[in-house]
Amino acid sequence: MNKLVSENQIKPLLKNGLVIMIGGFLGCGTPEKIIDLIIESGIKDLTIIGNDTSYEDKGIGRLIVNRQVKKVITSHIGTNPVTGQLMNSGELEVELSPQGTLIERIRAGGYGLGGVLTPTGVGTLVEEGKKVLDIDEKEYLLEMPIRADMALVRGSIVDTFGNTIYKGTTRNFNPMIAMAADTVIVEAEELVKPGELDKESIITPGVLVDYIIN
């Protein structure tokens, strides 16, 4: 079982219409080399799930600018003006989810839960079309799980089995999306051999990882 693959071996996995979760917060912790591959591949009609649409020249933002995205599920689009322009012109569908809700929907998708109940969004536009449950005299929204065809993870130090450690605030969405997709690709900033990582510090166990690029 060799998970370490070349960029050319990733390309056949990239297809039109994929639902892809991408790690990162304003581009910090986003696997930019895999983004490069998606841009080179020219695949279209993607649904992208991630915290934000980053900046025009970074991370998810580059896929938006390159018109490869049909729909984005995210919490913030304010740092990338192109997202708003494409949304207003009807070229891009934008589903906004509060940040804490979005990550819990992904967690529910990855952890086998039927949904999450959150007080966030009660009495706002976020409530529209959702079930409101009254539990011990407090209102909660039922938010549904989400999963993806593919999760693109950026690891700071990764062993060749896929065990992953994240530095600083690069962790953000990465550990959750690695649980919630059929195919998980990790882009390793630094690659090491199994046994070299402190096992107590591993955040994403390699058993979740299908492919590693370096």
Residues near another protein, by CB under 8 A: 25-29, 51-52, 74-79, 84, 87, 94, 96, 98-101, 103-104, 107, 118-126, 156, 166-176, 203
**Which one, 98 or 205, has the nearer CB to another protein?**
98
Least Å from the CB of residue 141 to another protein: 11
**Number of neighbours of residue 38 by Cβ within 10 angstroms:** 24
Least Å from the CB of residue 30 to another protein: 12
CB-based contact 174:155 (threshold 8 Å) = yes
Q: What angle do CA 179, 56, 96 make, to 5 degrees?
A: 50
**Which one, 54 or 68, has the nearer CB to another protein?**
54
185 sits in which H/E element: strand 181-192
Contacts of 112 (CB under 8 A, 6+ apart): none
CB-based contact 69:50 (threshold 8 Å) = no
**Which one, 96 or 192, has the nearer CB to another protein?**
96
* Pair type for strands 93-96 and 211-213: unpaired
Residue 87 burial (10 A CB sphere; 0-12, 13-18, 19+): middle
Least Å from the CB of residue 103 to another protein: 4
**Which one, 42 or 142, has the nearer CB to another protein?**
142
**Number of neighbours of residue 66 by Cβ within 10 angstroms:** 14
Least Å from the CB of residue 41 to another protein: 26
**Which one, 13 or 126, has the nearer CB to another protein?**
126
Least Å from the CB of residue 59 to another protein: 11
